[in-house]
Amino acid sequence: MRQPLCQLSQLELPDDVHFKTKQYRSDRHWEGVILERTLVLIKPDGVQRGLVGELLGRFERRGLHLVGLKLIAIPRELAETHYGEHRDRPFFDAVIEFITSSPVVAMVWEGPNVVSMVRSMMGPTNPAAADSGTIRGDFGIDIGQNVIHGSDSPSRAEQEIALFFQDGELVSWERDGSGWIYP
């Protein structure tokens, strides 16, 4: 039988490398970083097209922290409150029809600057103008079916999270190994 060139137990592991790694990590400063939360909706088109795992995975892989998740059929009243800022716009009725047409997945993600980070991962409102690599640029064509919603400011995020989730539905928890994402 062929012998391995070298067995793990025979290797001299350089302690200083481990030491430097720890040192490097503990030296990093994250003072002043404000953790935010944002509301994300996978819209009816995203759920119907089987994109839930793909989209949720993008946020997980980025290192964002999931604190709320559910599948819901949005009642018309909630939709009208959520999109209330657009009440006088010509597309308002279409937006309400669309968002109430089929279930959505509602999520709350947490992280430093998560509101703007999620918006940049989504891409612009019109998928036709979105870069490849963004969610709308990779999965959308039409402005009315643009796959995903994300709060557009921290204050809106607070309001929207309160609209979609009750306090008991949000879970604060620590992920093992999160120090490798943001110490």
- What residues are annotated to the active site? 149
The DSSP line for 109-132 is EEEETHHHHHHHHH--SSGGGPPB
5-64 binders of ligand RTP (CB under 6 A): none
d(CA 138, CA 78): 28
What the block records as the tokens of 93 is: 């009725």
Q: Is 134 in the site for ligand RTP (CB under 6 A)?
A: no
Select 100 or 146, whichever has its Cβ closest to ligand RTP: 146
d(CA 43, CA 108): 14
139-158 binders of ligand RTP (CB under 6 A): 143-144, 146, 149-150, 152
User: Which of 95, 110, 153, 170 is in the footprint of ligand RTP by CB under 6 A?
Assistant: 95
Starting from the edge strand earliest in sequence, which strands make up the sheet with 35-42, in order? 65-72, 104-112, 35-42, 148-150
d(CA 90, CA 69): 31
Select 86 or 87, whichever has its Cβ closest to ligand RTP: 86
Give the nearest distance from C-beta 166 to ligand RTP in angstroms. Answer: 22
**In the complex, which residues of this chain contact ligand RTP (CB under 6 A)?**
86, 91, 95, 125, 143-144, 146, 149-150, 152
